[in-house]
Structure 1
Amino acid sequence: MTHRTLDPAPHAAAEAEVARLHEHFIDARGYLAACTSGLPTRGSRAAVLADLDRRPDPAFYTGVVDRTRAAFARLVGTSEARIAIGSQASTQIALVATALPDGAEVLCADGDFSSVVMPFVYAGRGIRVRTVPLDALADEIGPTTALVAFSLVQSATGAVADAAAIVAAAARHGTWTLCDATQAAGWMPVRAELFDALVCHAYKWLCAPRGVSFVALSERLAARMRPVQAGWYAGADPWASCYGGASPLAEDARRFDVSPAWQAFVGAEPAIDLFAGVDAAGVHAYTTRLATTFRERRGLPASARASAIVTWDDPDGCDLARLSAAGIVASGRAGRARVAFHVFNDDEDVELAVRALTP
């Protein structure tokens, strides 16, 4: 791996923290796509390769899943008992939909990621989805709103929701809150206790293999949900729940577990453990500094709330093509070019992207 020297910045502690994190990644020069998929950590790569040489051992994998759940609980500041494991955010959001009464109103943000919205659109039972601009979510929550569901960071634009205002408005009206932290956890502080449901797929900013997701649930919401996906792993004793249908379910959020993808969790454990042990505020300061520098160099307007994702209009894809031609991995969404700055990026990545886009 090529050692990277970070430019001086006012957040010395944040820079030192991220300098340490750099050592956990194989050189990622020009990879500005953590918002699409994170890069594997050295620990994840080693764990997956070692697992290929190991005979399958269900007891070993059970321990891996338990430790990964515990690491995610530390990451989002909650207890393991509140967390159910899954493989996709959309299926876990669909479980939340089972708690809603018939005819309930669900409030979502315009243009939010479909996995947040579609489980409610197709939930049936007369459930109604209403969408409004992201910054209007708090104001639009009313006495008929059963649930407000939103991504903490918008996939298409990188905009950061005003979670505090949304939660406060929901509390005034007795509205449940569901936050998708898939585009947030890993680069900004996230606290599950703020929400009735916090969903996160770990393959983006948490740099885990695809196929590992989590939902942290409040007791009041979990009590209304139905474990419609219950299988053997949702049992109070999974190994005693392998046959038949009379096995008691776990009393905590594990009753909403699905059988884990073992190899994916093997790779996820080192990555999530790594991010659970870092100063999230320091990582936020570092990644948003890089993004802000890129914005300023490109003359882009500042974001309302600091974000590690930068997007701009690129309807014909020309800017994305320029980035690709320069060897930079970026992405395009909803007619916009999109770059993301994570802990494995640095000021040289900013410079490379700016040069690629400068005529």
Structure 2
Amino acid sequence: MTSEPDSYSTADAHSAAVPTTAGGSAAFRAAVEQFPNGRGYLAAASMGLPSLDTVAALTADLQAWAGVKRSPAGYGELAERVRAHYARLVAVPGDRVAIGAQTSVFAGVIAQAVPRGAEVLCVDGDFSSMVFPFLQRSDITVRHIPLAELADSITDATWLVSFSLIQSATGEVADVPAITAAAAHHGARTFCDTTQAAGVYPIDASLFDSTVCHSYKWLCAPRGVAFLTVSDEFQQSLTPTFASWYGGESVWESCYGPTMRLARDARQFDLSPAWHAWAGAEESVRMFADLDVSEVWSHAAGLGNLLCDEWDIPRKNQAIVTRADPGGADLARLAAAGIVASGRAGRLRVAFHLWNTADDVEQLASVLRG
């Protein structure tokens, strides 16, 4: 169980953000140059763009495979490097990170650990991967709470609080200090999805009992690269439901039964990596792990605030900004103008990342002004 933090040491979701379109650190500027085709792409919340280095790595991997220069063991070494980069990104030791391909599979592991009759709190309207695995359990109670009321809704009956750090449909940022403090007070566990945060919003995964992340959005990796973090204490409550040879203490000695010796750390939850996706992920995850992600957040949320100003709505201090678009007319107008955004839950969803600039805000606003 996580202890009550004195403060959330990453980004303050309620502070004003100013875009760094005119400058930024050398590392930030170098990262931006990795995305030369980012102009007009406002859909990182749906799918990130590959960096130049990621494209080069994928190309080289396919060529090496075709040239009979790849082996499963080599991909294993590559996956370990990606695990280490991700651990740095979310501020936990590498032995607290498990690797896989889908967030819902990891959420299923957490769902199976909920004791019969216990209560799980979910966010009303959260992404289904953080909800459906718990709804599959007919012997537990699942309550759906508005994000703003989540911390106040935790009681002594709550065994687990399952929520996304940033909401997929709206871009709202969870009040982590309030939620973790309330969970600690009532003895509840915390399970946080960082898929819409990792790469754009600073994360300290050690604040939670467990986190899950898919990297094909803001981390700009190929689809099929997901991560689970779990505290040493919480791990004792979990069963490796999808135990596989890749979760063995010695991977290459775990290929056959009947003896099963799983790793003793978080690696026991590993699922064998989809090799080529991890070849592409290495460069992207490393790049974001090397960045000051608070600088990325200041830039992206600052652009979000500029769009709020254009739309004459209160600043939200979010990288994702939405407005009602029930028929999809606004989304269609943007598409016709060559601007890529997305639609979710009857709303136009605009997502700013490090490759976007104030020009993207102006172009989008101009198109919608018509």
TM (normalized to structure 2)?
0.92
Tell me which residue corresponds to 2:320: 309
Does 1:300 pair with 2:310?
Answer: no
Q: Distance in 2 between matches of 1:109 and 1:91?
A: 19
CA distance in 1, matches of 2:310, 2:291: 29
Distance 2:225 2:20 in 1: 36
> In structure 2, how many angstroms separate the alpha carbons of the residues matched to 1:132 and 1:98?
21
Could you tell me how far 1:10 is from its partner in structure 2? 7.3
- Give the deviation of 1:244 after TM superposition: 1.0
Q: Residues 52, 187 of structure 1: CA spacing in aligned structure 2 closer, same or farther, 3 A cutoff?
A: same
Q: Residue type of the partner of 1:337?
A: L
Who is 1:162 aligned against?
175
Distance 1:98 1:79, change over 3 A: same
Deviation (angstroms), 1:98: 2.2
Deviation at 1:11, TM superposition (A): 8.9
Distance 1:84 1:239 in 2: 17
Q: 16-25 vs 98-107, which deviates more?
A: 16-25
Q: Kindly indicate whether residue 209 of structure 2 is the aligned counterpart of residue 199 of structure 1.
A: no
Q: Deviations over 1:54-106 (max 9, x none)?
A: 12311210111000000000000000110110101011011111221111110
Question: For the structure 1 residues 83 and 9, does the alpha-carbon distance in structure 2 shift closer, same or farther, using more than 3 Å as the test?
Answer: closer
Does residue 257 of the first structure (1) align with residue 267 of the second (2)? Answer: no
Give 2:365's aligned residue. Answer: 354
CA contact (8 A) 1:9 1:15 kept: no
The equivalent residue for 1:95 is 109
Native 8 Å contact 1:14 1:283 kept in 2: no
Of residues 131, 134, 143 in structure 2, which corresponds to 1:120?
A: 134
Question: Partner residue of 1:145?
Answer: 158
Q: Deviation at 1:21?
A: 1.3
Match of 1:4 in 2: none
Residue 171 of structure 1 corresponds to: 184
Amino acid at match of 1:45: V
Quickly say closer, same or farther: Cα 1:136–1:81, change in 2 above 3 A: same
Structure 2 CA distance for partners of 1:111 and 1:281, relative to 1, 3 Å: same
Structure 2: which amino acid aligns with 1:327? G
CA distance in 1, matches of 2:258, 2:38: 48
Aligned partners of 2:83, 2:19: CA distance in 1, in Å? 35
CA apart distance, 1:15: 6.1
Distance 2:279 2:222 in 1: 9
- Separation in 2 of the partners of 1:307 and 1:115? 22
- Kept in 2, the 8 Å contact 1:82–1:216? The answer is yes
The gaps in structure 2 that reach 5 residues or longer are: 1-17
Instruction: Figure out how many residues of one structure are paired with residues of the other and give that number.
Output: 349
2:84 matched residue in structure 1 = 70
**Number of the residue aligned with 1:268:** 281
SS of 1:98's partner is helix
Once residues 19 and 113 of structure 2 are traced to their aligned partners in structure 1, the CA distance between those partners, rounded to angstroms, is 47
Deviations 1:178-223 (A, max 9, x none): 0100001111101100000111000000000000000110112111
Query: In structure 1, what is the Cα distance between the partners aligned to 2:298 and 2:315?
Result: 15
Q: Where does residue 345 of structure 2 map in the other structure?
A: 334
354, 361, 368: which one aligns with 1:343: 354
2:18 is the counterpart of 1:18: no
Aligned-pair RMSD on alpha carbons? 1.4
Could you tell me how far apart the structure 2 residues matched to 1:245 and 1:349 are?
58
Distance 1:286 1:157 in 2: 18
Superposition deviation, residue 247 in structure 1? 2.6
Matched-pair contact (CA < 8 Å) for 2:20–2:299: no
Contact 1:309/1:339 (CA < 8 Å) preserved in 2? yes
Q: Structure 1 residue 18: deviation in Å?
A: 3.1
* SS of match in other structure, 1:52: helix
CA deviation digits over 1:232-252, x for unaligned, max 9?
101000100001131300000
